[in-house]
């Protein structure tokens, strides 16, 4: 599969700090790509470079296979984290303006806006001023203006902030629909639940460097630590005694006579060995492998990376 965005060795230096240090990222066509990282890691700097708001000090960005050029902005839709609209302008007028700035014709913009406004229940608000809208509604208008010109690449920075659960779902459905239609999407968010739900690939940036990237499922597999959750009935003491030295009991609790224990298998032992060891002592009701959430991986990686950095500094 070819990539919509290929960024090679991007470096961005500000007066007294380096915002991006040799970051390479590959966003495949037709995928949802999660761009993750703690605040101030350099995500926004990277997004601004793709949007050609700023340029890299070194490195090259390719859009759809060719070095990125100014006209490419017409094929990109960008929803910044800090966003807003002209408060005194009418909703329809403003949406038309932003659409035309993305190179759409007036007639086309109007036609598509009518459809989108209907879909998002905004059709009676065309002549209202933005300041009369609730925050959620203004966010809807903003989302529409981002996707209206049917960009090849959509960059969404915290797209769900400011939405209630119903509208969050509406926007999520739209994002997935756009993806089905072939739009490539870069999603930057701290909402890890939605990352697992809709992203295929992710990159994790910390302290201006990319510290992790790849397929979400694969990364989760890679970060498995051999922890299993086992449910059983019987004596907890017997269970503990049955565990051999190759495993470690991390956590356990009991509810209505049903014990749930988390056991970590060392040295890549098979879960079968765990079953063999305890099967004579307790009644097994379930065994599940614990797959780490993206959230856990995020926290772990960022902590390790920051600790390393501090050591290096000393």
Partner 1 sequence: MSKIGLIIQREYLTRVKKKSFLILSFVGPILIAALMIIPAWLAIKDVDNQKIEVIDESGLFINQIKDTKELEFHYEFRSLADAQEDLNNGGEYTAVLHIPKVVVTLPKTVQLFYKSKPKGSSVRYMENAIEEVIENKKLEDLYNLSLDQISGLRPDVDIVSKKLNEEGETKESAGALATGVGIVLAFVIYLFIFLFGVQVMRGVIEEKTNRIVEVIISSVKPFELMMGKIVGIAAVAFTQVFLWIVLSGALIIGAQQFFKEDLLDAKTAQIEQMEQTLGTEAPKVSKGSQFVAEINKKLESINFPLVIGAFLFYFLGGYLLYGSLFAAIGSAVDNESDTQQFMFPITMPLILSIVFAQLVMDNPDGDVAFWTSIIPFTSPIVMMVRIPFGVVPWQLILSMALLVVTFLGTTWMAGKIYRTGILMYGKKVNFKELGKWLFRKN
Chain positions contacting partner 1, by CB under 8 A: 15, 48, 51-55, 57, 70, 73-74, 76, 78-80, 82-89, 97-98, 100-103, 142, 145-146
Q: How far is the CB of 127 from partner 1 (least distance, A)?
A: 13
Name the nearest CA neighbour of 195 among 121, 103, 296, 76: 296
Residue carrying the six token digits 């305890």: 278
Q: How far is the CB of 51 from partner 1 (least distance, A)?
A: 4
* Between 150 and 296, CB nearer to partner 1: 150
E runs forming strands in 15-87: 17-28, 32-36, 58-63, 66-67, 76-79
* Between 21 and 52, CB nearer to partner 1: 52
* Between 85 and 282, CB nearer to partner 1: 85
Supply 247's token pair.
């495993």
Q: Under the phi-then-psi rule, with left for phi > 0, alpha for psi from -120 to 50, and beta for the rest, what region is 275?
A: alpha
Q: How far is the CB of 63 from partner 1 (least distance, A)?
A: 13
* Between 33 and 143, CB nearer to partner 1: 143
Q: From residue 120, give the alpha-carbon distance in Å to each of 79, 137, 169.
A: 17, 9, 12
**Burial zone of 161 (CB within 10 Å; 0-12 exposed, 13-18 middle, 19+ buried):** middle
Q: Is the separation of the CB atoms in 239 and 279 below 8 Å?
A: no
Q: How far is the CB of 162 from partner 1 (least distance, A)?
A: 12
Q: How far is the CB of 259 from partner 1 (least distance, A)?
A: 52
* Between 141 and 302, CB nearer to partner 1: 141
């Amino acid at each position: 599969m070819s990539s919509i965005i290929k960024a090679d060795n991007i470096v961005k230096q500000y007066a007294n700090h380096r915002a991006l240090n040799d970051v390479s990222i590959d966003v495949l066509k037709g995928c949802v790509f999660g761009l993750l990282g703690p605040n101030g890691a350099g995500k926004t700097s990277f997004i601004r470079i793709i949007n050609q708001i700023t340029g890299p000090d070194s490195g090259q960005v390719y859009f759809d296979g060719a070095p990125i050029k100014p006209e490419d902005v017409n094929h990109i839709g960008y929803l910044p984290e800090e966003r807003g609209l002209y408060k005194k302008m009418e909703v329809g007028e403003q949406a038309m303006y932003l659409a035309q700035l993305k190179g759409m014709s007036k007639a086309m913009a109007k036609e598509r806006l009518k459809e989108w406004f209907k879909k998002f229940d905004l059709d009676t608000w065309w002549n209202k001023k933005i300041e009369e809208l609730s925050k959620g509604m203004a966010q809807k208008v903003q989302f529409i203006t981002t996707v209206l010109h049917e960009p090849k690449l959509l960059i969404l920075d915290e797209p769900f902030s400011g939405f209630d659960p119903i509208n969050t779902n509406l926007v999520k459905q739209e994002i997935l629909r756009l993806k089905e239609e072939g739009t490539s999407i870069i999603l930057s968010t701290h909402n890890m639940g939605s990352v697992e739900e809709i992203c295929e690939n992710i990159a994790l940036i910390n302290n201006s460097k990319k510290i992790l990237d790849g397929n979400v499922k694969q990364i989760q597999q890679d970060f498995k630590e051999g922890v299993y959750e086992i449910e059983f009935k019987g004596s907890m003491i017997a269970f503990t005694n049955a565990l051999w030295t190759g495993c470690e009991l991390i956590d356990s609790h009991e509810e209505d006579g049903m014990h749930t224990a988390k056991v970590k298998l060392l040295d890549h032992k098979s879960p079968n060995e765990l079953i063999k060891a305890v099967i004579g002592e307790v009644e097994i009701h379930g065994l599940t492998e614990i797959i780490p959430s993206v959230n856990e991986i995020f926290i772990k990686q960022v902590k390790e990376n920051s600790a390393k950095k501090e050591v290096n500094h000393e």
